[in-house]
Amino acid sequence: MKILKFYLGHLRNEEHFQLMTEFKKLIEASGASVLNIEQLFAVFLVLFGREDLAVEVFRKNDLTDDISATDALRDNIYRGFTLFVETHLYSPIPEKVEAANNIRTVIDHYGDFRNKSYNEETASINNFLQDINARCADDINTLNAAEWITNLSASNQTFDNLMNQRYDREAGQEYINLRETRREIDRVYNQITGFINAAIIVNGDAAYSDFVNKLNERISYYKNTLAQRKGRAAKKKEEGES
């Protein structure tokens, strides 16, 4: 019995961190003292904490995508609203033409704020919404345009919430080189697994069998994941060349 060899460098960042998380939990469940790896595990925990922080920076990219999508949404809603108002300038109903002109006055005052910085646009939309609701409430009702205002307000608030989440994350983060951290934690992982494999040869597997079996299950899973990914990539390349 021994821990399967596995090159961690082929794993994606999230996969690597997940395997290290599972590795940590298995050691904690078995007991670092039982496995006789207290000192190595203490080093591993420090590096694990650093990898956790470093991976968080990459997780922020998901938030960045949400921010970009929400910004585009509020831009589209505002643009749609201005076009909606413009069409009513040519309405055969005088009351609607008057309402559209009143709203257009507010729109012209603020101009196109879609090219402003994120924070400036958020503030401009908030000011615009306050003015339009205060000065043109009856006009909005005349044009049945309340859904435009409601959706613009909701998307702007969602955007502001996402930006605040980003600020909160960044405030508590320190820059950590993820690639270098992975190399360091891989080195300690290999030291731990190498020590356990050697201990099994010397002392037998009684104290290690449960840990080794469970770790090997996880290693096999990731090996299969990499093999499948490699197969899909090879097939895609082959199809591209044919």
Structure confidence by residue, pLDDT tens digits, 141-150: 999 999 999 9
How far is it, in rounded angstroms, from Cα 149 to Cα 77?
9
Q: What is the pLDDT of residue 56?
A: 75
How far is it, in rounded angstroms, from Cα 5 to Cα 212?
12
How far is it, in rounded angstroms, from Cα 192 to Cα 32?
10
Range of the domain at 123: 60-171
Residue 113 lies in a domain: yes
Question: Does residue 3 register a pLDDT over 90?
Answer: yes
Residue 38 lies in a domain: no
Q: What is the pLDDT of residue 8?
A: 92
- Spatial CB neighbours of 191, under 8 Å, sequence gap ≥ 6: 40
Q: How many domains does the chain have?
A: 2
Q: Please identify, among 171, 195, 214, the residue that sits at the C-terminal boundary of a domain.
A: 171
Q: Please identify, among 150, 171, 192, the residue that sits at the C-terminal boundary of a domain.
A: 171
Tell me the pLDDT tens digit for each residue of 32-76: 999 999 999 999 999 999 998 888 766 655 677 788 889 999 999
Residue 55 lies in a domain: no
Tell me the pLDDT tens digit for each residue of 91-141: 999 999 999 999 999 999 998 887 778 889 999 999 999 999 999 999 999
What pTM does this model have? Answer: 0.54
Strand ranges for 66-189 from DSSP E: none
Looking at the structure, tell me whether residues 237 and 201 fall in a common domain: yes
Render the burial of 228-240: b for 16+ CB within 10 Å, e for the rest: eeeeeeeeeeeee
Residue 156 lies in a domain: yes
